[in-house]
């Protein structure tokens, strides 16, 4: 596994851009069918959270401008960012947990159709997540959050050798612990309490003592189905169920899911809720409406799912009628770095996070197309069983040749690019027009991801290096351009 001490900086892969004729013959620009919908190309912009919704999760003009900008490059599909299925406050993340979110989302659908000239299909990623609290100060944790129990008093008495702690009043215990050092905390607190102190409290799918977690088998199918029905009403071309990274559905699929109520343990149990969610969604949207899934080819954490699990789940998903399988990797909380006090733990800071959005500082393999092997293994297994479900791959893809080779080898059916599309939303169009030399190439150093981590409006560092005096630029409060610089295709092409 990659480790910073073994990292070396990799140059961007050489790009021999095709002529317009070569591009037109390329596999990447050939159509593909997904259920009732046809993508005009196999180019794909996967979900990226830009932190542009209102505090109430509603679509804003900035959300619309963000997706319009991608749409002008006319990719085969864009997946709208992870959008919350519950009607709970979650800051400026998009939500779809109530009918009041539908008009804004419908406006977004119309804007993308207009900007892409009807060429781009628009999917929306539906997500459920459990509570993650910010890391508290030590004082606040012991004053407010720790539930003081007799076992703490016992442990305190043992650790200090003073039996008086066995009968100590709660405020005394709290004050003593607040002033104590790490070693004493380790003697007195259990593993979960230590984590809440050092990282912030984080709910897990295994917390069966919490009613809403216990009831996930009942609530998730209803909430996902209602959200998918709203997506259909809003006019989206399909939905992508988010079963990847650090969130509820991936945690249910994980080998670390040890629920004892029949929904944890062996794979057959872990997949029950994800399949029940799929059936409920299907029932809500009908057989011909595209319903895809994004899940992990490898969790990249100790004790987590490997490719064998992912392949097994992929077959279950294909059999259940998912219309595409989008393969991601890593991005888990379990190996994330400790956040600063006042910040929340971010699932892309550890080795599994690295694998999800690999940077040029890497091991021998480098970041480019690093995760394709997972999609390839899954696609092979799915095809061997007779399913033709399209497979989407992503991760460090930034040239036409990479995409062509992936498709030619049959490693995937659709090739997605997140950060390269962020750096240059026109890049698919430029390649198609034989203008690849004009592509603004992503540097894969993750400035954008750093902004996401701080819950700041996501932008690309390259956008602010050009045309700073362009008229009508919208900027973030700290002066960053919120939309990629304008690009105008020469005669006959589309304008960006
Ligand atoms: C700013 C940012 C936000 C992201 N948000 C999401 C998300 O909402 N859902 C998701 O499945 N992946 C998300 N991702 C991961 C990307 O979809 C993609 O899998 C990853 O960046 C690797 O692809 P790339 O090398 O082409 O960037 C995000 C990535 C970035 C950079
Ligand atoms: S900020 Fe960096 S990693 Fe992100 S899209 Fe721009 S160049 Fe790529």
Q: What is the CATH number of the domain that holds 445?
A: 3.20.20.70
Stretch 312-326: mean pLDDT = 98
Query: CB–CB of 73/496 below 8 Å?
Result: yes
In angstroms, rounded to a whole number, what is the distance separating the alpha carbons of residues 169 and 124? 53
In angstroms, rounded to a whole number, what is the distance separating the alpha carbons of residues 328 and 300? 11
Same domain assignment for residues 217 and 286: yes
Same domain assignment for residues 364 and 282: yes
In angstroms, rounded to a whole number, what is the distance separating the alpha carbons of residues 321 and 203? 31
In angstroms, rounded to a whole number, what is the distance separating the alpha carbons of residues 422 and 483? 9
Tell how far the Cα of 47 is from the centroid of ligand 1, in angstroms: 6
Final residue belonging to a domain, choices 182, 199, 216: 199
Tens digits of residue pLDDT in 35-53: 989 999 999 999 999 999 9
**Ligand 2 atom closest to 441 (CA):** 7
Residue 494 has pLDDT above 50, yes or no: no
- Assigned domain for 484 exists: no
Pocket test for ligand 2, best of 353, 426, 442, 483 (most atoms within 8 A of CB): 442
Q: What pLDDT is recorded for position 492? A: 61
Ligand nearest to the CA of 465: 2
Tell how far the Cα of 66 is from the centroid of ligand 2, in angstroms: 15
Tell me the average pLDDT of the chain.
96
Residue with tokens 């480019």: 368
What is the residue with the minimal CA distance to atom 4 of ligand 2? Answer: 448
* CA torsion angle 83 463 493 21 (round to 10): -90
Instruction: Give 495's pLDDT tier (boundaries 50, 70, 90).
Output: very low
Q: Is 397 in the pocket of ligand 1 (CB under 6 A)?
A: yes
Q: What pLDDT is recorded for position 471? A: 84
Same domain assignment for residues 182 and 331: no
Instruction: Give 3's pLDDT tier (boundaries 50, 70, 90).
Output: low
Residue 496 has pLDDT above 80, yes or no: no
Same domain assignment for residues 231 and 278: yes
- Number of domains the chain contains: 2
Tens digits of residue pLDDT in 375-391: 999 999 999 999 999 99
**Ligand 2 atom closest to 445 (CA):** 3
Stretch 233-245: mean pLDDT = 98
**Ligand 2 atom closest to 446 (CA):** 3
Same domain assignment for residues 156 and 177: yes
Query: CB–CB of 82/49 below 8 Å?
Result: yes
The DSSP letter of residue 248 is: H
Same domain assignment for residues 127 and 142: no
Stretch 285-301: mean pLDDT = 98
Same domain assignment for residues 69 and 189: no
Q: What pLDDT is recorded for position 303? A: 98
- Assigned domain for 261 exists: yes
- Assigned domain for 308 exists: yes
Q: Is 330 in the pocket of ligand 1 (CB under 6 A)?
A: no
Same domain assignment for residues 379 and 431: yes
- Assigned domain for 476 exists: no
Instruction: Give 159's pLDDT tier (boundaries 50, 70, 90).
Output: very high
Structure tokens at 397: 């893809």
Tens digits of residue pLDDT in 6-33: 688 999 999 999 999 999 999 999 999 9
Tell how far the Cα of 6 is from the centroid of ligand 2, in angstroms: 23
Ligand nearest to the CA of 50: 1
- Assigned domain for 495 exists: no
Final residue belonging to a domain, choices 158, 173, 199: 199
Same domain assignment for residues 192 and 74: no
**492 by DSSP, 3-state: which?**
coil
Angle between helix axes 272-285 and 307-320 (nearest 10 degrees) is: 30
Give the residue numbers spanning the domain of 361. 4-131+206-465
Same domain assignment for residues 188 and 213: no
Same domain assignment for residues 78 and 38: yes
Pocket test for ligand 1, best of 357, 372, 415, 463 (most atoms within 8 A of CB): 357
Tens digits of residue pLDDT in 398-457: 999 999 999 999 999 999 999 999 999 999 999 999 999 999 999 999 999 999 999 999
pTM of the predicted model as reported, rounded to 2 decimal places:
0.96
Same domain assignment for residues 235 and 288: yes
Residues with CB under 6 A from ligand 2: 419, 422-423, 442-448, 460-462
Final residue belonging to a domain, choices 199, 226, 247: 199
- Assigned domain for 487 exists: no
Structure tokens at 365: 């393999």
- Assigned domain for 180 exists: yes
Instruction: Give 4's pLDDT tier (boundaries 50, 70, 90).
Output: low
Pocket test for ligand 2, best of 362, 368, 460 (most atoms within 8 A of CB): 460
Residue 189 has pLDDT above 80, yes or no: yes
- Assigned domain for 473 exists: no
* CA torsion angle 111 116 117 122 (round to 10): -70
Q: What pLDDT is recorded for position 466? A: 83
Query: CB–CB of 394/427 below 8 Å?
Result: no
Percent share of the chain, pLDDT over 90: 94
In angstroms, rounded to a whole number, what is the distance separating the alpha carbons of residues 44 and 238? 14
Tell how far the Cα of 470 is from the centroid of ligand 2, in angstroms: 21
Tell how far the Cα of 357 is from the centroid of ligand 1, in angstroms: 7
């Amino acid at each position: 596994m990659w480790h910073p001490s073994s990292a070396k900086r990799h140059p961007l892969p050489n790009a021999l851009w095709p002529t317009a004729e070569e591009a037109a013959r390329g596999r990447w620009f050939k159509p593909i069918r997904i259920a009732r919908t046809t993508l005009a190309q196999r180019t794909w912009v996967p979900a990226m959270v830009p932190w542009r919704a209102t505090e109430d999760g509603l679509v804003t003009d900035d959300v619309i401008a963000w997706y319009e900008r991608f749409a002008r490059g006319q990719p085969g599909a864009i997946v709208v960012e992870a959008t919350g299925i519950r009607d709970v406050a979650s800051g400026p993340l998009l939500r779809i947990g109530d009918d009041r979110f539908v008009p804004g989302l419908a406006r977004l659908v119309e804007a993308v159709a207009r900007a892409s000239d009807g060429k781009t299909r628009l999917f929306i990623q539906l997500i459920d997540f459990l509570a993650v609290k910010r890391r508290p100060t030590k004082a606040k944790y012991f004053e407010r959050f720790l539930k003081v129990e007799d076992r703490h008093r016992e442990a305190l008495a043992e650790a200090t050798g003073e039996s008086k702690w066995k009968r100590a009043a709660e405020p005394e215990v709290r004050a003593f612990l607040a002033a104590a050092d790490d070693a004493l905390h380790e003697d007195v607190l259990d593993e979960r309490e230590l984590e809440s102190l050092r990282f912030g409290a984080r709910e897990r799918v295994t917390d069966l003592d919490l009613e809403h977690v216990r009831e996930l088998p009942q609530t998730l199918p209803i909430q996902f189905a209602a959200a998918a029905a709203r997506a259909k009403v809003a006019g989206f071309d399909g939905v992508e169920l988010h079963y990847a990274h650090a969130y509820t559905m991936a945690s249910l699929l994980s080998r670390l899911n040890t629920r004892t109520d029949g929904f944890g343990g062996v794979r057959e149990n872990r997949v029950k809720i994800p399949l029940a969610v799929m059936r409920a969604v299907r029932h809500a949207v009908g057989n011909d409406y595209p319903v895809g899934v994004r899940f992990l080819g490898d969790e990249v954490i100790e004790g987590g799912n490997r490719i064998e699990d992912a392949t097994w789940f992929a077959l279950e998903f294909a059999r259940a009628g998912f219309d595409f399988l989008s393969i991601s990797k890593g991005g888990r909380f379990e190996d994330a770095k400790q956040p600063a006090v006042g910040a929340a733990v971010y699932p892309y800071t550890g080795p599994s996070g690295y694998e999800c959005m690999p940077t040029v500082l890497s091991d021998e393999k480098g970041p480019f197309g690093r995760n394709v092997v997972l999609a390839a293994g899954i696609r092979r297994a799915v095809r061997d069983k007779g399913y033709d479900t399209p497979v989407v791959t992503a991760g460090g893809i930034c040239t036409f040749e990479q995409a062509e080779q992936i498709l030619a080898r049959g490693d995937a059916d659709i090739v997605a690019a997140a950060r390269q599309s962020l750096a240059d939303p026109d890049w698919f169009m430029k390649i198609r027009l034989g203008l690849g030399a004009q592509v603004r190439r992503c540097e894969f150093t993750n400035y954008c991801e750093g902004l996401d981590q701080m819950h700041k409006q996501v932008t690309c560092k390259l956008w602010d290096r050009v045309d700073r005096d362009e008229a009508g630029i919208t900027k973030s409060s700290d002066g960053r351009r919120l939309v990629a610089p304008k690009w105008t295709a020469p005669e006959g092409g589309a304008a960006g």
